[in-house]
Amino acid sequence: MTFRARHLLGIEPLHPLEITTLLDLADTYVDLNRRTIKHSDALAGMTQINMFFENSTRTQASFELAGKRLGADVMNMSVSQSSVKKGETLIDTAMTLNAMHPDLLVVRHQNSGAVNQLAEKVNCAVLNAGDGKHEHPTQALLDALTIRRAKGRLHRLTVAICGDIAHSRVARSNLILLGKMENRVRLIGPPTLMPAGVAEFGCEVYDDMKAGLEGADVVMMLRLQKERMDGAFIPSEREYYHRYGLDAEKLAFAKEDAIVMHPGPMNRGVEIDGTLADDINRSVIQEQVEMGVAVRMAAMDLLARNLKAHRGAEAAGEH
């Protein structure tokens, strides 16, 4: 099998073939999800726990639905009621849950690196549902599937990622994935919202939106991550929208058939014009949500297969 990973902690450790394997399987789950009876038994008998220490709408709902459609027993741990509020550390909580024998643990946490740390302590498969400014691998994979289906390929495309690059795990995971698949990535945004060392990323960097969008096949907008900003990064939202908000006039600089993406949640009138976001001829934002469920089903299915094989080999070694 060409998917060897035991956890899905980020895009960084994945081989391009593993990415393709996962997307190919996700395509089959898109078909399943469009049927009236959306059921598979890939995770039958397995337990999936979702631990979200940061707010989430799409990601949490989509992981829950994905697990249920694959036949897993799914538990959502509500952090507001958990012992974490009483001062228990993330690792203690993970060890407690580990003792209940979950097979898949889906974790979102505000600290970069927290999910990797946790994966070292537990003996199930761990999926990173977003850790701080670090990675959001299933988002990048669902974006990749959306692009591949809309453009018919996932290589030699010009993809413009625009806005708050510095605070975005979505931008990070996407630029790693798109780079691995040999696309040309451009980062567009004010210098205050570019990460330190951006020159080393191997991307073209623009602070002028129109110049950056010239000839782009894909335009990916990002939300201003105010919760991760400690100070003023932009003069005002109005000024930001004027310079970096995507509207029809700026989009006209991209290719005529360029698609518009946004991971959500969207701030209409801040990073994107509301009418453009809803324009089904240009925007694939709803498709991204649909692909999210399929990609998470594929990721959990592949990890579950590896987990079963690993446990089987361990058991065989014991005798």
Choice between 25 and 171, CB closer to ligand ASP: 171
Q: What residues make contact with ligand ASP under the rule CB under 6 A?
A: 130, 136, 169-170, 223, 225, 263-264
Sign of the Cα torsion 98, 102, 103, 104 reads negative
Give the whole-angstrom CA distance, residue 282 versus residue 205.
24
Q: Which residues, 6 or more positions from 221, have their beta carbon under 8 angstroms from its beta carbon?
A: 162, 163, 246, 260, 261, 262, 266, 271, 272
CA distance 207 to 135: 24
Cβ-proximal residue to ligand ASP, closest one:
223
Nearer to ligand ASP, 7 or 169 (CB): 169
Known catalytic residue: 58? Answer: yes
Nearest approach in angstroms of CB 160 to ligand ASP is 17
Task: State both tokens at 53.
Answer: 């220490």
- Half-sphere exposure at residue 206, Cβ-oriented, CA atoms within 13 angstroms: 19
Catalytic: which of 35, 36, 85, 86? Answer: 86
Between residues 112 and 306, which has the closer beta carbon with respect to ligand ASP? 112
Closest approach of Cβ 263 to ligand ASP, in Å?
Answer: 4
For residue 296, give the amino acid letter: R
Q: Which amino acid is present at 316?
A: A
Catalytic residue among 47, 59, 93, 138: 59
Of 223 and 296, which CB lies nearer to ligand ASP in the complex structure? 223
Among residues 58, 68, 228, 243, the one annotated as catalytic is: 58
Q: By the 8 A CB rule, do 97 and 77 touch? A: yes
DSSP alpha helices (H): ranges in 110-201?
114-119, 137-151, 169-180
Q: CA angle 258-191-282, nearest 5°?
A: 15
Set 7, 108, 133, 262: catalytic member? 108
Measured from the CB of residue 298, what is the shortest distance to ligand ASP in angstroms?
A: 19
DSSP 8-state symbol, 6: S
Which residue, 170 or 307, has its beta carbon nearer to ligand ASP? 170
Q: Which of 149, 107, 148 is nearest to 125 (CA)?
A: 107
Catalytic residue flag (residue 59): yes
Residue 223 annotated among the catalytic residues of the structure: no
Least distance to ligand ASP, CB of residue 261, Å: 12
CA distance 11 to 22: 12
Our CB check for ligand ASP shows the closer of 93 and 225 to be 225
Select which of 136, 148, 186, 262 is catalytic: 136
Long-range contacts of 58-61 (CB under 8 A, 24+ apart): 58/264, 58/265, 58/289, 58/292, 59/108, 59/129, 59/130, 59/138, 59/139, 59/292, 60/108, 60/129
The catalytic residues are 58-59, 86, 108, 136
